[in-house]
Amino acid sequence: MFFHNTLTRSPQEFKPMHRGRINLFVCGPTVQDHFHIGHARTYIFFDAVAKFLRKTGYSVFYLQNITDIDDKIINRAKEEKSDPLELAESYLEEYYREMKELKVDSINFYARATLHIDEIVSQIERLVSAGLAYETEDGVYFEVRKFKDYGELSGQNLDQIKHGVRTDISESKRNPEDFVVWKKMKPGEPFWDSPWGKGRPGWHVEDTAITESYFGEEYDIHGAGSDLIFPHHEAENAIARSLSGKKHLARYWIHTGMLNVNSEKMSKSLKNFRTISEILENYSPEVLRYAMLNANYRTMLDFSEEMMESSRENVGYITKVYKRLKKVKGKEGKFKIDLKSELSTLTKAMEADFDTRGVIMRLLEICSDINRNIESISSESADSIIELLDWANSFLGIVESGEQPLGYGLISSILEIRKDLRKKKEFDLSDRIRAELKAYGIYIEDVNGGTEWWFE
């Protein structure tokens, strides 16, 4: 298996630190606002990755942090005149709920920053005593120039970075590139005690303290959106490696490309900010997963209605084939697939830089094959295709599985009656049955000689 490592800027053969075991850390969100489809892209992708790795036999500890204390949360709370910690709590609940809806359920543990203050403080203490961080009147800062490999991940050169492009440079810092690891509280802000007085942790050190306490000084894979490469991951790398003296914090870094809307970055000022819940009003979680996984994870993905409609088409197509196969029982037929070789093709695609798109493409081809040969599929063959689809779906999560709202026998009876009505050409009544069942999510289609139905 190989994939693109941001650190080496090239595809690299993957070798876990411990045989058969993988420690995977992905930066979770700052719980300060509703979550958007950019979050969805990153978390759906890593969900598929974690599930696939488990499917191929690895034991994966997938850890995600939650930034539940931060300047932005405080500012947001001020605007809304609410309590920052309560605000964070309610967005966190929303996050959990939406991830569950999107079937992102591969994360073993969510580590909240506010529940790891001791670990964070201890790490900062070690930074200070090693002379890597210094205290000023408003906080504790990490001195970037003490870490000579700074820039190795992002390719940034300290002397060529434009300082203060977007943020004001704090006057208390020794150098403009230094970043805060502990922020001293201002009146009315949430706080925790520390050797430097009341305050709260800086962003970068949260993650290094959390990964250190669960994974140790070095681990296998660190993932996140590519917008976090600089400065966040560069800073994490600097903190952790300065303390450990090791060559790596994470041996492999995986970054997902940004999701744009009409070729523009999502932002509130442009009013093109699309939330997950807004998308789920019109599309199923499976369709959103499909749209996100039907692209190379590293390239910029341009969100559009066209893309979503096309995803809806294909998800419906695959789902229908799947349900059709489930109904094949006790039939003889010539059509066969070579399950073993198909599995190996799909596995190879995933093992080549997580080519989820390639997997989907092959699935569509198989589905097309099935539709063409639906009359000559034996039940044995149907079973092995179902096995294949189940296997792929276990990490892609793109097949829609509706709840069966009515009993099988009941539907059959209704359809029998409808069949008689159609024979008598009482189409008003038969169409009404079709419309009524549709309200229950039961779709009817009259195909050659018979009637097919399924749930949605």
Partner RNA sequence: GGAUAGGUGGCAGAGCGGCUAUGCGUGGGACUGCAGAUCCCAUCUAUUAGGGUUCGAAUCCCUACCUAUCCUCCA
Q: Is the dihedral of CA 75, 76, 80, 83 positive or negative?
A: negative
Question: Cβ of residue 33: shortest distance to RNA, in angstroms?
Answer: 8
Between CA 107 and CA 27 the distance in angstroms is: 12
d(CA 185, CA 84): 13
Contact status: 316 vs RNA (CB under 7 A): yes
Q: Does 166 bind RNA (CB under 7 A)?
A: yes
Subset of residues 367 to 386 that bind RNA, contact rule: CB under 7 A:
367-368, 371-372, 374
Dihedral (CA of 102, 14, 242, 167) sign = negative
Please report whether residue 16 would count as binding RNA according to CB under 7 A. Answer: no
Is the preceding omega at residue 231 within 30 degrees of 0, hence cis?
yes
Which among 178, 48, 23, 34 has a CA at the least distance from the CA of 109?
Answer: 23
Alpha-helical (H) ranges within 217-338 are 234-244, 276-282, 285-293, 305-326
For RNA, the binding residues in 288-307 under the rule CB under 7 A are 295-296, 298-302, 304, 306-307
Please give the backbone phi and psi of residue 165, each rounded to the nearest 5 degrees, phi first. Answer: -60, -45
Among residue numbers 40 through 59, which ones bind RNA (CB under 7 A)? Answer: 41-42
Determine if 334 is a binding residue for RNA (CB under 7 A).
no
Q: Give the contacts of 245 (CB within 8 A, at least 6 positions apart).
A: none
Rounded to 5°, angle at Cα 412 from 408 and 413 = 120
Q: Give the nearest distance from C-beta 19 to RNA in angstroms.
A: 29
Residues 14, 96, 134, 230: which binds RNA (CB under 7 A)? Answer: 230
Which is nearest to 134 in space by CA: 179, 194, 192, 200?
179
Question: Closest separation between CB of residue 221 and RNA, Å?
Answer: 14
Amino acid, single-letter form, for residue 111: A
Taking residues 425 to 454 in sequence order and writing x for each that binds RNA by CB under 7 A, - otherwise, the string is --x--xx--x--------xxxxxx---x--
Length of the chain in terms of residues written: 456
- Min. distance of Cβ 73 from RNA in angstroms? 10
Q: Which residues have a Cβ under 8 Å from the Cβ of 300 and sit 6 or more positions away?
A: 257, 258, 259, 260
Q: How far is the CB of 57 from RNA (least distance, A)?
A: 26
Task: Give me the 231-270 binding string for RNA, x by CB under 7 A, dash otherwise.
Answer: xx--x--------------------x-xxx--xxxx----
CA 243, 246, 252, 255 dihedral sign is positive
Footprint (CB under 7 A) of RNA, residues 183-222? 203
Which pair of structure tokens corresponds to residue 433?
């049955």
Nearer to RNA, 53 or 370 (CB): 370
Whole-number minimum distance, CB 18 to RNA, in Å?
26
Residue 1's H or E segment, with its range, is: none
Nearer to RNA, 17 or 71 (CB): 71
Min CB(395)–RNA separation in Å: 19
Q: Which is nearer to RNA, 193 or 445 (CB)?
A: 445
List Cβ neighbours of 221 (8 Å cut-off, separation of 6 or more).
Answer: 22, 23, 24, 25, 250, 251, 252, 253, 254
Rule CB under 7 A: is residue 357 a binding residue for RNA? yes
| Positions in 142-161 near RNA (CB under 7 A) | 144, 154-158, 160-161
Interface segment toward RNA; rule CB under 7 A; list 32-40, 55-63, 132-140, 244-252 = 32-40
Specify the residue, 53 or 181, whose C-beta has the smaller distance to RNA.
181
Give the one residue of 85, 280, 364, 414 binding RNA; rule: CB under 7 A: 364
- Which C-beta is closer to RNA: that of 109 or that of 427? 427
Q: Which residues contact 129 (CB under 8 A, 6 or more apart)?
A: none
# binding residues, RNA (CB under 7 A): 86
Minimum gap (Å) between residue 368 Cβ and RNA: 4
* Stretch 73-132 residues interacting with RNA (CB under 7 A): none
Nearer to RNA, 279 or 295 (CB): 295
